[in-house]
Amino acid sequence: MIRGLYTAAAGMVTQQRRHDTATQNIANLNTTGYKQVESVSHSFPEVLISSMERGTMKPIGRMNTGVFAEQSISKYLQGDLIESGKTTDFALSADLRLTDPATGGNIVFDGSGKYISNQGETIYQPQAFFTVQDNDGNTFFTRNGSFNVSPAGELLSSGGYKVLGTNGQPVILSGTEGDLKVDGEGNLLDASTGAPSGARLGISIVTRPQELVRDGNGVFHVDDAAAAGVRYANAGDNMQVRQGYIEGSNVDATQAAVDLNAAFRAYEANQKVIQFYDSSLQKAVNDVGRV
């Protein structure tokens, strides 16, 4: 009986986390560059139940001992591009591919941006990010390209991070904000001639985006750049920089609402189970125990 109470309590905690995740997604429906988060639940280890018959153990079956929300996974799928008309707004349009070592062809990712190989390995689609830096020199990645220019001419993100170029240094504009021109590959163009000025936005390709860690303010970091396969974009990548656009949130509003309601109903069901166990224990102690 006590085991069932603990199982229901674990279910309540898990549904609370699912509810919090859905609430977070709904709250960021209009956040530029926001990537939807999904809560992944797993069961506790199963218990093998057996019975003793004439000195031998006879398997009966397996019993699950509860569930827990193990982690939250971000979905890095492309959000809708929204035209803003601002010269300091940028959006990334990317459909990056990987080669399947077994067939030699391009891997075809599913609607969630992942691929399951014949060996059971999960491979996630590489993603492109703007590279930014905080005042302490820490490097982060973001899809929020709503930038602005500081009085010193530095290109800054909406969170105050310095936008980096491919040389690893902050991008500093030589002219006015209205003179800023960037081509599809991220090259900054000379305002007078329209030719590449030599500076380029630092667009980072993260080959294994599952290694990214969400930091808030729309930025991510990696603990090990080599393990995440971080590199700068090159001409061979199927990626384009769109000036005067921003990338909207990729949250599916309908699915987020469904997840929110489902988590609430499951939480309520587990709550009623706990109330039932509480009532049963009360009778066992006060009534049966009295006999």
d(CA 225, CA 231): 8
Residue 221: predicted pLDDT: 95
> Measuring CA to CA, which residue among 205, 212, 209, 201 is closest to residue 242?
201
Q: How far apart are CA 144 and CA 158, in angstroms?
A: 8
Rounded CA-CA distance 27/37 in Å is 12
Please give the single-letter amino acid code of residue 196. Answer: P
pTM metric for this prediction: 0.82
CA–CA–CA angle 217, 221, 222 (5° rounding): 165
pLDDT of residue 53: 67
Evaluate if residue 255 carries a pLDDT over 80: yes
Q: What is the pLDDT of residues 123-138, one digit of tens each?
A: 889 999 999 999 999 9
The torsion defined by the Cα of 279, 281, 282 and 287, in degrees rounded to 10, comes to 120
71-75, 146-150, 186-190, 232-236: segment of lowest average pLDDT: 71-75
What confidence score (pLDDT) does residue 275 get? Answer: 86
pLDDT category at 50 given cuts 50, 70, 90 is: low
Average pLDDT on 268-277 reads 87
Percent helix, strand and coil across the chain, each rounded to 5? 25, 35, 40
pLDDT in tens, 148-197: 999 888 999 999 999 999 999 999 987 777 778 999 999 998 877 778 88
